[in-house]
Chains A and B, each alone.
Chain A
């Protein structure tokens, strides 16, 4: 650290980032380091219990996650749907709404993309099919979220509960389609839809041709949502409506419409996540293809305090952990899902560290 005068406390650098003293910053960084090391230690202990040398396992996980370009692209590919799923939580949260339905909105997005592909493939230019898939998925995700929104503003049904229930209905719709009307007859008994034609899969970039267009779409969406929430009057009004609905109503704001629009925008982001995973990675619908994405997105949003740009960082972290899980399976012979233990303790460290938000819990 260079010896410069730390800025006086009262000067604020930016409205979003209140100035912290260097001491405070050091303490914050220190406590984060302790938290992450703690999470690594706990998971290391569990691995040791299973007879795996944690030091070797961590080295392998690190090497195969962050040390070569192929695995780095893997992290980006995993993080992209997490990022969109987290935006699906962050926008409604601005209006004080809890969207636990990313999981289902993602599935609906994937279904819509597949449906568009089934209907249009071979009939119009593949570029057009792609655009239609992405738009269709956003509409489907938005509609699925709108259901919960209408129940909330119309009947007063809590959106956390309705979105949770709608997740299961969406999954059943997916399973119904791929076991019935959309079943791939060449699927050898596996439940799956007909694979996308190569030319309708999202274009890929980079030397290894793995990073697909969806990664850039997700990044652009984060910046777009950030600007939308920060710089438009809609973003401001949404926050006011979420902060004190009664006051907002008296000030003449259309609170119900604002809340609905927040959920719909979130749902569109989740739908997009389903589309890019379908058209960029999977190429066909299959059961459980996006299992956990919505919930991981929920946690990424919480990890980042619902801030769109910080969410990108949280999504990358969780994407890296997910990729590390694959390495755990290949190198250490432990099930890939074991890495959820590591993820859980990282999240505990962060969730349990936040200052109590008013009303978050008593």
Chain B
């Protein structure tokens, strides 16, 4: 039935419009996670466990929505659980000296384990998730209306969050302190601020946003829950942050680019263009690598200095 519906839509919608609609639709969850990871990395902590935070968010949101009937409670649950997992990461790397990359992977496995343990009973449950809300007036603008103004509430929220995080990071005193924690922690300490505390907050915020990204995926886009449903979106988000040179608005564009690649395959298939979906899936990664090659030097110069120490692994004897 869905296929038939899509097929009838083909005539009415240009390929480019359909792909852009899909780009926003499937890019938003990645955008939330990338935005969170940007905040975290700006403060000097990389969280490869973003995948786990997203997964935990997706499952918690689904479960809470199923139990309460209100997806907004689901979002709150997702934010809390995603943030909590990220704080655990923060504690282990900041207070216990754990390696950031290794510990991030453990957070990923923890998220996978917890969600399969507690999510199993929700696999076949149905929920009343978020529905697309067409903004009156704006949504009837040809093409643009469909692409931007006919989405679920979490997508609209993300439109505002991108610029908001940019403002927070680059135009507020708190953003300056946060970036200071990632670049010049000793300077911060000498002025009496605690880089550690700032990092806890940044990493926690990052996990919270990744959790909301997961919630958008399970309660607004897929409307289902299954084990490991994020399927690498959290890792994509981590890669995206570098692609975007640690800039929130570039992260937004990057996320939609990934979303477009995800949406292109099905749209082409509907139009009977034979393209292997997996070739298209690989495109964003190839593109990211290509961009890194082109921007190599510049891109890594923009990296928060605190991160350089993570990437340059200590030699082992």
Contacts and interface: CB of A to CB of B under 8 A. Distances in A.
B113 A351 contact: no
A93 B316 contact: yes
Interface in B112-132: 112-114, 116-118, 120
Nearest to B108: A295
Interface stretch (A125-133, A173-181, A276-284): A173-181
A165 interface: yes
Contact of A337 (B228, B278, B315, B316): B228
A182 interface: no
B289 A156 contact: no
A231 interface: no
Contacts of B314: 96, 357-360
B157 interface: no
Contact of B92 (A306, A340, A352): A352
Which size class do A's interface residues fall under?
35 or more
Main secondary structure of the interface of B (DSSP, over half): helix
Nearest to A178: B278
B117 A164 contact: no
B297 to A, nearest CB: 6
A343 B113 contact: yes
A295 B232 CA distance: 13
A160 B242 CA distance: 12
B227 interface: yes
Contacts of B232: 168
B119 to A, nearest CB: 8
Contacts of A292: 109
Interface string A326-362: 0000000011111111111101100111111111111
B99 A360 contact: yes
A335 B278 contact: no
22 contacts: A50-B117, A94-B315, A96-B315, A98-B313, A151-B293, A160-B311, A172-B285, A176-B276, A295-B105, A296-B109, A302-B102, A305-B316, A335-B227, A338-B117, A340-B110, A340-B113, A341-B117, A344-B110, A352-B92, A353-B96, A357-B99, A359-B309
A97 interface: yes
A351 B102 contact: yes
A299 B117 contact: no
A299 B106 contact: yes
B116 A338 contact: yes
Contacts of A56: none
A157 B278 contact: no
Interface residues of B, number: 63
A293 interface: no
Contact of B285 (A168, A180, A239, A298): A168
A11 interface: no
Closest 9 CB pairs of A and B: A340-B113, A352-B96, A341-B113, A344-B110, A172-B282, A337-B116, A356-B97, A338-B117, A351-B98
A100 B101 contact: yes
Interface in B253-308: 276-279, 281-282, 285-286, 288-289, 292-293, 296-297, 300, 306
A313 to B, nearest CB: 17
Interface of B: 44-45, 48, 88, 92-94, 96-103, 105-110, 112-114, 116-118, 120, 185, 195, 227-228, 232, 235-236, 238-239, 242, 276-279, 281-282, 285-286, 288-289, 292-293, 296-297, 300, 306, 309-317
Nearest to B311: A158
Given A343-B109, A351-B98, A46 B285 contact: no
Contact of B310 (A347, A356, A361): A361
Interface in A148-191: 151, 155-158, 160-162, 164-169, 172-173, 175-176, 179-180
Contacts of B236: 168
Pick from A100, A337, A357 the residue with the most CB of B within 10 Å.
A337
B109 A168 contact: no
Interface of A: 46-47, 49-50, 93-94, 96-98, 100, 151, 155-158, 160-162, 164-169, 172-173, 175-176, 179-180, 239, 242-243, 292, 295-296, 298-299, 302, 305-306, 334-345, 347-348, 351-362
A44 to B, nearest CB: 12
A177 B277 CA distance: 11
Contacts of A359: 309, 312, 314
Contacts of A299: 102, 105-106, 109
A351 to B, nearest CB: 4
A107 to B, nearest CB: 12
Contacts of B116: 335-338, 340
B272 to A, nearest CB: 17
B96 A338 contact: no
Given A96-B315, A157-B292, A351-B102, A176 B279 contact: yes
